[in-house]
Every structure is written in structure tokens, then in C-alpha cells.
Amino acid sequence: MSGDLGAEVVVRAADAALRKHTSLELVLVGDRDELQAHITRIVGEESRLSVVHASEVVAMSESPVDALRKKKDSSMRVAIDLVKEGKAQACVSAGNTGALMATAKYVLKMLPGVDRPAIITELPAKGGSLHMLDLGANTLCTAEHLFQFAVMGSIVTTDITGIEDPRIALLNIGAEDTKGHDTVKEAAAMLNNSALNYVGFIEGSELFSGKADVVVTDGFTGNVALKTMEGTVGLAAHYLKRAFTRNLVTKLQAFLARPVLSSLAVQMDPRNYNGASLVGLNGIVIKSHGSADSHAFLHAIDTAIVEVRNQVPQQIGRLLEQVAA
């Protein structure tokens, strides 16, 4: 019921997901009357789609603490409760990130061996993509936290991309072993002594170079990096559009380059990477971007389906047990 574009986006994404996945069943959680009106208009009769009523909505600007304490019948809380009760296998939400994280952590609890959940998402890179975490859940992290993030990132990357032994790097201010603060150095030592495929430090300028499949950092740095990437893409698009619309000649050049530009737009479309996983929880919760349209929200649903099929929380739990042993 939250997100920037409202419930209609979720209903349209649900309709597309049901047509794409013939064995999928979806539960839409929120105001029954509003959801049913959208369903009647967009989906029609569909036995694999049901509605669970929730009387409250967590606002995008609402405090996570207030959402957790005061809105126990919010669409967000009811959806996560369904996962806890085993009535759903995953929750997908475009709502308030802080409230989603706090509620999911309170209701689902953490996996044994995980101190804190992290936010991980897929980003485009040379030769494919990379997964990066943490993107905002934990502003301060210990070396142990970064090590746990690496374990969880390795599992998610393998399940999403099929890479059997993903290369893991720590984001740092330099690639040399002497660079960085004590926390990243300690995390590097832990990763070097593990069975994970750790390839060393990576600088911000090399994030998309294809040198790593998983990039690990603290939530403060990761969130700043992610927002910087989004801003840079927007700036590049702005200058490209201005250059191609300057005069008649540049407009003709734009027309001739249209196939290349269209292909590039598809490859760089952030909607095709929507759906960040809240890893470390004893359950599957996917965070969609608040401004996601139906195409982007569909991708978030697809991410949830992959994690359900591959039993990502169970895989993380088993790998952490092996590491601890």
C-alpha cells in the first residue's frame, strides 16, 4: 500500500507475474476495497491471487520505531506475519525501508550466526553484473559483520547469477593491503583465511570493471556509493540528451544511433535490477524501490521467487555453520 506510485503498480506487477509463472500464488496485503477495485479492472477473475485485509499503512516518512510499535495491522506488518506463520514464502514491499527492516528483524528474527541483516542488490557491470552489500541497513560495522555480509553475498550471487564460486572484494580507498582502516584490514584477514573466493580490495572506480562478483562494505559507504551511481547515470543521460538535441545535425545523428542507444537503455535500465534482498533474516523479504513501476516491481517478485526456490536463508545458515566449524 505504500511506495510512491500506489497499489495499482503492485496489482499490475502481480498480473504480469501470474502470467509469467504458472505455478505462482500471490497474496496482496492492504486495503481490501482498494485492492479489489484494481484487481477487478486489471486482472479479472484469478484463483491464484488473493487479498488479505490490513487496516493501516506505514507512511514513507514514518519512524521505523513508530511503525513497529503503533501499526501492528499495517500492510507491511501483516505481510511479514504471513511469512512468519508459513502462509507465504516471501514478502515483497516498496514501502519504508527502515520500517521494513525493523519489522522484518523483529518478526522473523535473525539466522543463527548472523548479527545484523544487510541489504544486497544486483548492479550492472562489465561482462554481467555484481552484487553489493550492505546498502544502508548498518552504518557502523565490525570486521565480523563484513565477513558475514561476504558469506551472505556469496550465496545470493550464486543463486541469482549461477556463478558457482563468486569473486568477493572489499570496497576500500585503495587496492593495496596497506590501505584502509583497521576494520577492513581485519575483515580482509578473515576472508583470506576462509574458503570463500576472496580477491582483495577494490576501489570505487573499479566497481563495474568486472573484477568482482560481490562487493562488501558497510551500509553508510554502500548507500552513498549507490546514490552516487544513480546520480551519475542521471547526469550522463542529461548530457547525452542535450548533446543529441542541440541542432538538426545532432538530431539526425541521434536518429542514426537509435538502435545502439535503445540497446544501451535496456542494459542500463535500473528497473531490470530492482529488488534488494534483506539477507540474514530467518525468512525472505525483498525491498523494491519506492518509485518502482510495474515492470520494476515484477523484477522484485522474480527475485523473491528465485530466493524461495533456492532456499536462500537455509543456504546462508548452512554455510555459516561450516565457517564456524
- Does residue 258 lie in a domain region? no
- pLDDT computed for residue 300 by the predictor: 93
Predicted pLDDT at 265: 66
Residue 236 lies in a domain: no
Pair 161, 191 in one domain: yes
Q: Does 179 share its domain with 84?
A: no
Return the pLDDT at 325: 60
Specify the number of domains making up the chain. Answer: 2
pLDDT in tens, 276-314: 899 999 999 999 988 889 999 999 999 999 999 989 898
CB atoms inside a 10 Å sphere around CB 62: 18
Alpha carbon distance 145, 317 (integer Å): 15
Residue 317 has a pLDDT of 86
- What's phi and psi for 169, nearest 5 deg? -130, 150
Do 85 and 172 lie in a common domain?
Answer: no
Pair 140, 226 in one domain: yes
pLDDT at 267: 65
Q: Do 97 and 140 share a structural domain?
A: no
Residue 196 in any domain: the answer is yes
- The reply to whether 106 and 61 lie within a common domain is yes
What's the pLDDT score for residue 17? 96
In a domain, 165, yes or no: yes
| pLDDT in the model for residue 269 | 66
DSSP string, 142-192: -HHHHHHHHHHHHHHHHHHH--SS--EEEE-S-SSTT-S-HHHHHHHHHHH
Q: Are residues 126 and 26 in the same domain?
A: no
In a domain, 275, yes or no: no
CATH number, domain at 95?
Answer: 3.40.718.10
Q: Half-sphere exposure of 90 toward its Cβ, with a 13 Å CA cutoff?
A: 29
Cell of 269: 535500465
163 & 186 share domain:
yes
What is the rounded CA–CA span in Å between residue 74 and residue 69? 11
255 belongs to a structural domain? no
For residues 91 and 142, membership in a common domain is answered with no
90 and 134 together in one domain: no
Assigned domain for 251 exists: no
Run of H or E including 30: strand 26-30
Contact criterion met (CB below 8 Å) for 53 and 34: no
Are 124 and 226 part of one and the same domain?
A: yes
Domain region containing 172: 118-231+265-270
pLDDT of residue 38: 95
Residues 106 and 123 in one domain: no
**Which residue numbers in the chain have pLDDT < 70?**
264-270, 324-325
256 occurs within a structural domain: no
